[in-house]
Amino acid sequence: MSKIVLVTGGAGYIGSHACKALKKAGYIPVTFDNLETGWEDAVKFGPFEHGDLLDRARLDEVFAKWQPFAVMHFAALSQVGEAVMEPGRYWRVNVGGSLNLIEAAVAAGCLDFVFSSTCATYGDQDGVVLDETTKQTPSNPYGSSKRAIEEILRDFGVAHGLRHVIYRYFNVAGADPDGEVGEFHQPETHLIPLMLDAISGKRSALTLHGTDYPTHDGTCIRDYVHVSDLVDAHVLGLHWLEFGKGSRVFCLGTGSGFSVRQVVKEARVVTNKEVVMQVGPRRAGDAVCLVSGSARAVEELGWSPERSTLQQMVADAWRWHGSGHYNK
């Protein structure tokens, strides 16, 4: 059997780490990316195919050329605030693009599919550790678009035998411990790199988007997972499908949430530097608290999130932060 895996969004933060993990596991990751938010310099572990998920003809061409046995799907628009302001774009790109991809995969006989979903499909459910049985009530178009893709996968499973593993997680952090790839977005929107930019003087201050949430310190609470642990789970999901275990949903998290102020406090300890902060308004669509459990992934996949401590995630991100970034 071919060991080729098509990785959409493989030039992005999580996708590039997934390509490294796939190569280490003996697969050939073929990156498919339009480079809108990804970086060609991050494609280091297998072939690169430039293309857009909205271009069905290009997808068919890539499937015919490489004949992958599986797809690992990361490519998506993912900014909650932007999704609230531009819902049509999120439905068009995330859902329309994913439908194109799924139809192209089925047409090519590529029936193993690992999908990067999100805990944002659950909406705002405070005081609850989210798991696979929690009701999905997304509170923004980003979460809604991801839930729709999950439903498409289930429908194609019934109609065409498409086997899928769906992962729901929220905040991904850290960087490759070897320093080969890391987190870099333009513009940057994620808390930890924004915070490290403020520490290193690359920006004047870190903006706290709301300090009046009903939490212990007024800032949002999120569950953070180390990117290396996350992509290890994706490889395990691929193995799950290869072993014929059938379609499954897994939540990935530590079961512990940290507020924005707690992350800042840890950064002060790790870097021994102060974080300059300013208070800004809440962002539309932001939930108060999202914490995800991972008991099913631990028990059924044998997943072990060994690097997913706040100290380790900040330390690995800080090391990457000082190593230089990709050039557009």
**Are residues 136 and 155 both part of a single domain?**
yes
Written as six digits, the tokens of 42 are: 């991050």
Q: Of 251, 267, 291, at which residue does a domain stop?
A: 251
Residue 328 is predicted with a pLDDT of 42
Domain-terminating residue out of 236, 251, 266: 251
Residues 135, 34 share a domain: yes
- Shared domain check, 119 and 238: yes
Domain contains 243: yes
Q: Does 142 qualify as catalytic in the annotation?
A: yes
User: What's 35's domain CATH number?
Assistant: 3.40.50.720
Cα–Cα distance measured from residue 249 to residue 168, given in angstroms and rounded to the nearest whole number: 8
Mean pLDDT by 10 residues, the chain (328 residues): 89 96 98 94 96 98 98 93 93 98 98 96 82 93 97 98 96 92 77 87 89 92 94 98 96 91 93 90 83 94 94 92 62
Residue 92, both tokens: 């068009």
Q: Are 69 and 51 in contact (CB under 8 A)?
A: no
- Domain membership of residue 179 (yes or no) is no
What pLDDT, on a 0 to 100 scale, did the predictor assign at position 288? 86
Residue 308: strand pairing partners = none
Residue 185 belongs to some domain of the structure: no
283 within domain boundaries: yes
Same domain, 25 and 149: yes
Out of 13, 27, 90, 142, which one is annotated catalytic? Answer: 142
83 and 169 within one domain: yes
Distance CA 317, CA 326 (A): 15
Domain that holds residue 304: 191-222+255-321
Same domain, 286 and 311: yes
Residues 245 and 264 in one domain: no
Check whether residue 72 and residue 207 sit in a common domain. no
In a domain, 183, yes or no: no
293 shares its domain with 205? yes
The CATH number of residue 200's host domain is 3.90.25.10
**Around 84, how many Cα atoms within 13 Å sit in the side-chain half-sphere?**
12
**All residues at 6 or more sequence positions from 190 whose CB lies less than 8 Å from its CB, including other chains:** 171, 173, 183
**132 & 142 share domain:** yes
- Do 209 and 96 reside in the same domain of the chain? no
**CA–CA gap between residue 42 and residue 80 (Å, rounded):** 24
Position 182 in a domain = no
Distances from the Cα of 275 to the Cαs of 185, 206, 270, 283, 325, in angstroms?
20, 7, 12, 21, 21
* Same domain for 84 and 29: yes
pTM recorded for the entire structure: 0.93
Q: Last residue of a domain, which of 235, 251, 267?
A: 251
Q: Are 174 and 316 within 8 A, CB to CB?
A: yes
Distances (CA, A) of 308 to 35, 130, 227: 28, 17, 8
Q: How far is CA 35 from CA 12, 41, 196, 251, in A?
A: 8, 10, 24, 28
Would residue 236 count as lying in a domain?
A: yes
Number of domains in the chain: 2
Q: Is 16 inside any structural domain? A: yes
